[in-house]
Amino acid sequence: MHVSASTLGQKISLRVKQATLQEILQDIQVQTNYDFLYSESEFRSFGKVDASFTNKDLQLVLQKILTPQGLVYFLDNQMVLIKSRDELLAQMAQNQQVIEGYVKDEQGHPISGASISLQNSNLATATDSQGYFKLVSPDAAPRIIVSALGYESQTIPISSTKSLQIVLKEAISDLDEVIVVGYGQQKRANLTGAVSQVNASDIALRPDANIASTLQGLMPGLNIQMNDGDPAATPDINVRGFNSINGGSPLILIDGIEGNITRVNPNDIESVTVLKDASSASIYGARGAFGVILITTKTGKAGTTSISYTNNFGWTSPTARTDYISDPYVYGKTVDAALYGYNGTSYTNYNDEDWEKIKKVASGELAPFHELQADGTNKFFYKSNWWDHLFKKNQGSNFHNIAISGGSDKLKGYLSGRLFKRESINNINDDANMDRQNLKANVVFTPYKWLELSNNVQFINEKDKDYGGYANGFGGLWSTTTWYHLMAFYPIMVDGIPTDIGTGTGGQGGSAGLYSGKTWRLYDTDELTNTFRAVVKPIEGLQVNFDYSHRLEYTAQNFRLNPFEHYSGNRLKLTTKGLNRLSEFRWKDKYDALNLFATYTKSLNQYGNIKVLAGFNQEFFDRDRVAATVDGLLIEDLANLSLGTVMNNINGSATNWAVQGYFGRLNYDYDNKYLLELNARYDGSSRFPKESRWGLFPSISAGWQIDRESFWQPLKPYVSSFKVRGSFGKLGNQTVGVNTFKELMNVGVSNWLDGGTKLNFASMPGPLPTVVTWESTETVNVGADLGFLGNKLFVNADWFRKNVQGMYLPGEPLPAVFGANEPKENYAGLRNEGFEIGLSYQDKFEVAGAPLHFSATASLSNFKGTITRYNNPNGLLSSYYEGQELGEIWGYHIDGQFKTDEEALAYQNSFTNPRNNLSLVYNDILNVMQNSEWNHLRAGDVKYIDVNKDGRIDKGDNTLEKHGDLSRIGNSMPQFPFGLNLNMRWKAFDMALAVAGVAHQDWYPTGDLYWGSYQRPYLSFLRKDLVDQAWTADKPNNPYPQIYRGYSSLQGGRSLNELNDYYLTNVGYLRLRNFTFGYTLPQSLTQRVKVDKLRLFFSGENILTWSFGNLTKYLDPEQAGSAVDYSSPETVDDRGDLRSYPMGKTISFGVMLTL
C-alpha cells in the first residue's frame, strides 16, 4: 500500500466508530502523503475501534491508534513502517540495534522512571530504580529522546553499541509545574487565581516535626504565628489577614478532607497549596471564606521498591535569656526596695549583719543555712536558682521515619510510619513528655485503563503528659505557684523535703507538688481516617471521581490530683496540701465526607480548549462528650473512677453539624493566551435556620498571557514570560456556633431547697433574631506573574481587597427590663486590603568543575483591616467604630522622665488637686502607695503630658470626638511579614537556609517577665537588665523608674500600665528559622552494602534572632507580639503577660537512608 506524502507536522482530523485499522489508516492517507508499510494479513486479526481526533499531530494519532494494539511504528524518510511488538522482538538478532545505558542527574544519582523513546516512533521504555534502560530499534542509526519530570529533555543520536551514560540537567523553568487546586490540578502557566504551592523538594531537607512551623515564611499571604514554644500547641494559621470580627481560620484539607495540620507527618507530604483569593477558594463555598490550604500526601510509584529511613536527634533550649537574678543579695535588695517603696515593709527582714551574711552566701564564703528566731520563725540565707531548678536547659527530642514505596502499573503501594518524642521543659518529672505516632498506608489498583481504585488509611496517636500540684487544683509550671514567691534566698529543700515559704505564711505549694510526682494530667488522642477513592474514565476527556472518608477520633483527658507534703512558711511547718481527685473527660468524634465530581476536557480546535467540572460534596460531624469527677480515691497511685468515694460531678454534651454543597467550574483558554475561569458553589449549612440555610457563592477570574503575543517577541530576551490576571468572587462565612440559632434551655441544680433537696431548674432560652443570613465576603484580586532571564527568575505580585458585610453581632441595645441580651443581627462591615510579592530564582553555576545548583524564594506581604460599618453612634474608643484601622493603639504622650525630685514636685503641684486630676495615670503613686517617702512624684518617674491643656490627664469621654489626652501612637498588627529561603547543592554537599520575620510591630510592654518587680515585688524571676536600667542619680538616662516603684505596672491607672509612647516598643524581628547542611556519601561506597543513598545532616531551628527594636533579650520578639491573632480582630488590643512556654531553638543531626 503506497500513498504520496507531504510533511510530518501535518494535522489530522477524523471521527470514526467501529472501523478497522486499515480504514482508519486509509482515512489518514487521504489527509497526508506518507507511505504506510504493514502486513494486511496481520491487520485483519485486529478488532474494530472508535477514534476521534481534531487537528492533532500525525505522530499523536498513530500512537493513540497503534499502541493499544501492540503495534509499533517508525517514521523513516517518507515511509511509515508498522510492525507488531512480537515481530520486532523475534527479529532482535537480525540487524536490530540494541540501545542500553544509564540515566543519571548531575550529582550522579540514578533517575528512575525516565522515558526513553525512539524518535519518530512510539517505541519506548523507562528506566528502572538504578536508572538503567534497554531499547531495541530496527534503525541502524537511530535517535532517542530522553525525558524526565523536572529535567531538560535530550535528543541523542546513536552511533555505536556502547552502553550510554546519559546525564540530564535539571529544568530551570517551573511554568509547567502542576499545581493542586480545588478538586483538580492545573499548570501554573494557566492559573488565573492567587495560588501558592510548595512541594516536597522544598521542605524535604528540614527535619521539622511540625509542618506548620516549616511553612512559616515560605509563601506570601500565609501567616503562621508561633505563640510560644510549646511543642504540643497548634500555631495560629491565617491567610491574608482579618476576615471577620467573629474570627475564622482557613479551611485545611488533607488529601481532600478536613484535618489538623499539626498531625500530618511532614515526611508524607507531597505538596502544600494555599488558595488565597475568592476565585480559587469559592469552589469550597462557605468554608473557603478565610482561604484554603490543600495538603497532598504521597502515594506509591511504579517501579522497583524503595525503602527510606530518616532519623533526627535534637536538643531545644530557649531563644531568650533565662539567667534571671539568682544572687540572693541582689535579689533580696531588689524585692525589698520595691516592697519598701510601696508600703515601707520588707520580704527578707534582714538587718545590716544579715546582709553581710547573705552576701557571703552569694559569694560562696558561707554555706547556705536558715536561722531560727526567738518567735519561732526563720530567716533564710540560701542561694537558689529556681529557674534552672524547675526548667531544663535542653529538651531532648528524636524522631524516626520509615517509608516504603513501589509496585507496578497495575498495583502501587505506599507505607510509612513515624515515631516522635520530645521532652517537656519540666526539669523535675522525667516522664513529662510529648509522644507522636503516625501510620499511613496507601494502595492504588488500576485493573483497567479506565478504572483506578485506591484506599488511604492514616492513624495518629498523640500523648502528652505534664505534672503540677497545688493547694486547690492542678497548678503546674505556668501557674502563679511557680512564678510567685520563689525567692533566691529561700531554700529549695530542707532535709530532703521541698519548701514553700511564700511571704512567710506559706504559699500554694507548687514546686512541692511537682516533687511529689502524683498530680498529673494526661492527654491521649487516637485518630483513624480511611478514604476510599474511585476514578473512572468512561470516554476520552471525561473523568469521574468518587471518594468517601470516615474518621474516628477518640480523646481522653485525665487529671489526677493528690495531696503532697512540704515545709510551709517561715516556720517550716510540715504541711499536707492538695486535693484527692480524679477528673476524666472522653470525646468520641465521627466525621464523614463524601465527594462526587466529574471533569470533562475538550479541545475546540481553533476555538481553544475547555474544561468543565461539576460535583457534589457532603460532610457530617458528630461529637459525644462525657465527663466525671470523683473525690476521696482509695489508692493514691491509681487513677480510676471506681476508686472514688465521693461523686463530685458528672456531665455530658453532644455536638453535630452538616454541610452540603453543589459546585462547578469552567476553564477556557483561547489560543493558549486568553484564560477564563468561572466557579460557583451552592452551599447549605446546618448551623443556619432552614429559611436562610443555603447560599450561592460565585467567582470569575481571567488571565492574559501577554508574552505569547506577537508584539511581545522583541521583549522576550528581557521579560521571558508575562501574565496579568484578575478575579472577583463572593464567599460566605458559616463560622458561627453550632447552636447559635437554636433556642436551648440550660438545665442545672439550684441552691434552693425543697424538703431538704436542691431544686432542678431549666432557664428560658435567649431571643433569636427574626432574620439571619450568611456573612458575605466579596474579594477583588489583581495580579501579575513575570519571568526574567529565561524564566530563571519569577516575580509574582498581587493586590487584593476584601469587603465583609453582614457580620453577625449584637444588635441595638435594649432596656434592662427586657431581661435578656440583645438578639444578634447581620449588620457590621469590614474591609481588608493588602499586597503580596513573591520571588523565586533558580540556576546553576560551575564551581571547581562541578555544577552548583542554587534556588531562592522570597516573600513580602502586608494588609490593613478597616471597620466600614458598626453600630457605635457615640464613637466609643472601647468598641469598634467606623473608619477604625484594626490594631490602632491609643495612648498618652510622655516627655521623658523627671531628672530631679524638685522637677517632679513642681510638675505635680502645677495641677489642681493632683490626686484626682492625675489619678488615671499616677494612681499608684498618689493614691495607693502607703510609704510617705514615695507617695508623690519623684526623680525617675515618667512625665505624662497634658496634651489638650485642660488641667487633667485623662481619656476625656473616651470617644473619637472627646478623647482627652489620648492619641494614636502606634499599631499592634505585624507589618510587612517576610521570608527568604535558599537551597544549594554542590557535588555531595547540600545546604538549606530559611529566614522569616516581621518588619515592624508596635507592642506596649506588659506582664511579669517584662516589668519584674514593677509588676509584683514577689516575682520568682527577675531579669538582670531591668535592675541594671533602673533610674539612679548617677544613671539619669536609664529608662525605668527607681526600683522602689513596686506594683506600678500591675493594673490600670498606674504609671507604667497606661499605654504611652515612651515604652512603646517595636517587636519586629528577623529570625534564622532553619539552617541545614548535609553530605551524601558516594554511591560507590554505599552500594557495596546495598544502600542506594546515605545522607548525613546537621540542622538548626531558630538558632539566631535579631530584634529591630530595643526589646530586652529576656523576651523573644515573636512571642512578645503573639497576643495578636491574625484571624481574630478582637485580639488586636490584647497585651499578654508572656508567662508561657519559652520559644525554643533546636540543634539536631540525623541520617537519611534509601535502599
* Residue reference for cell 499545581: 179
Backbone angles phi, psi at 539, to 5 degrees: -140, 165
Residue 275 counted as domain residue: yes
Low-confidence ranges of the chain (pLDDT < 70): 1-10, 76-78, 88-96, 139-141, 150, 171-176, 769-772, 811-820, 1132-1133, 1136
Q: Could you tell me if 152 and 60 lie in one domain?
A: no
Task: Output helix, strand, coil percentages for the chain, rounded to the nearest 5.
Answer: 15, 45, 40
Residue 159 counted as domain residue: yes
The residues, ordered by sequence, that sit 6+ positions from 830 with a Cβ below 8 Å of its Cβ are 242, 243, 244, 245, 803, 804, 807, 865, 866, 867, 868, 1129
**Alpha helices (H) in 437-503, listed in sequence order:** 480-483
How far is residue 400 from each of residues 210, 635, 645, measured CA to CA in Å? 14, 38, 44
SS3 call for 268? helix
- Of 520, 430, 532, 508, nearest to 474 by C-alpha is 520
Q: Could you tell me if 199 and 275 lie in one domain?
A: yes
H/E/C letters for each residue in 157-216? ECCCCCCEEEECCECCCCCCCEEEECCEEEEHHHCCCCEEEEEHHHHCCCCCCCHHHHCC
Residue 721 counted as domain residue: no
**Alpha helices (H) in 10-159, listed in sequence order:** 21-31, 40-43, 58-66, 85-90
Let me know how long the chain is. Answer: 1155
Q: Could you tell me if 48 and 109 lie in one domain?
A: no
Structure letter (DSSP) for residue 905: H
Q: Could you tell me if 103 and 38 lie in one domain?
A: no
Q: Could you tell me if 64 and 102 lie in one domain?
A: no
Domain count, the chain: 3
Per-residue pLDDT tens over the stretch 775-785: 888 999 999 99
Query: What pLDDT, on a 0 to 100 scale, did the predictor assign at position 819?
Result: 65
Cell numbers found for residue 1134: 490584647
* Residue reference for cell 504540643: 232
The residues, ordered by sequence, that sit 6+ positions from 877 with a Cβ below 8 Å of its Cβ are 890, 955, 958, 959, 960, 963, 966
The residues, ordered by sequence, that sit 6+ positions from 1152 with a Cβ below 8 Å of its Cβ are 308, 309, 310, 1078, 1093, 1094, 1095, 1097
How far is residue 1088 from each of residues 101, 1093, 1152, measured CA to CA in Å? 21, 11, 17
Last residue of a domain, one of 84, 101, 136: 84
Last residue of a domain, one of 108, 136, 167: 167
Q: Could you tell me if 56 and 97 lie in one domain?
A: no
CATH number of residue 255's parent domain: 2.170.130.10
Return the C-alpha torsion angle 187, 192, 193, 197, nearest 10: 20
Query: What pLDDT, on a 0 to 100 scale, did the predictor assign at position 292?
Result: 92
Residue 995 counted as domain residue: no
d(CA 818, CA 770): 17
Q: Could you tell me if 140 and 233 lie in one domain?
A: no
Query: What pLDDT, on a 0 to 100 scale, did the predictor assign at position 96?
Result: 66
Residue 658 counted as domain residue: no
* Ramachandran category for residue 64: left, alpha or beta (phi over 0 → left; psi -120 to 50 → alpha): alpha
Give 259: exposed, middle or buried? Use CB within 10 Å, 0-12, 13-18, 19+: buried
SS3 call for 30? helix
Q: Could you tell me if 96 and 79 lie in one domain?
A: no
Query: What pLDDT, on a 0 to 100 scale, did the predictor assign at position 6?
Result: 39
Query: What pLDDT, on a 0 to 100 scale, did the predictor assign at position 503?
Result: 83
The residues, ordered by sequence, that sit 6+ positions from 1115 with a Cβ below 8 Å of its Cβ are 320, 1009, 1010, 1138
Q: Could you tell me if 101 and 138 lie in one domain?
A: yes
User: For residue 817, how many other CB atoms are within 10 A of its CB?
Assistant: 5
Residue 56 counted as domain residue: yes
CB 1036 within 8 A of CB 899: yes
Q: Side chain identity at 51, as an amino acid letter? A: A
The residues, ordered by sequence, that sit 6+ positions from 620 with a Cβ below 8 Å of its Cβ are 590, 591, 592, 656, 657, 658
CB 785 within 8 A of CB 837: no
Last residue of a domain, one of 103, 133, 167: 167
Query: What pLDDT, on a 0 to 100 scale, did the predictor assign at position 814?
Result: 66
d(CA 163, CA 161): 7
Q: Beta strand pairing status for 793-810 and 775-788?
A: antiparallel
Domain ranges, residue 68: 11-84
CATH number of residue 154's parent domain: 2.60.40.1120
Query: What pLDDT, on a 0 to 100 scale, did the predictor assign at position 174?
Result: 59
CATH number of residue 42's parent domain: 3.55.50.30
Query: What pLDDT, on a 0 to 100 scale, did the predictor assign at position 1109?
Result: 92
Q: Could you tell me if 119 and 75 lie in one domain?
A: no
Residue 109 counted as domain residue: yes
Q: Could you tell me if 249 and 211 lie in one domain?
A: yes
Q: Could you tell me if 18 and 40 lie in one domain?
A: yes
User: For residue 622, how many other CB atoms are within 10 A of its CB?
Assistant: 14
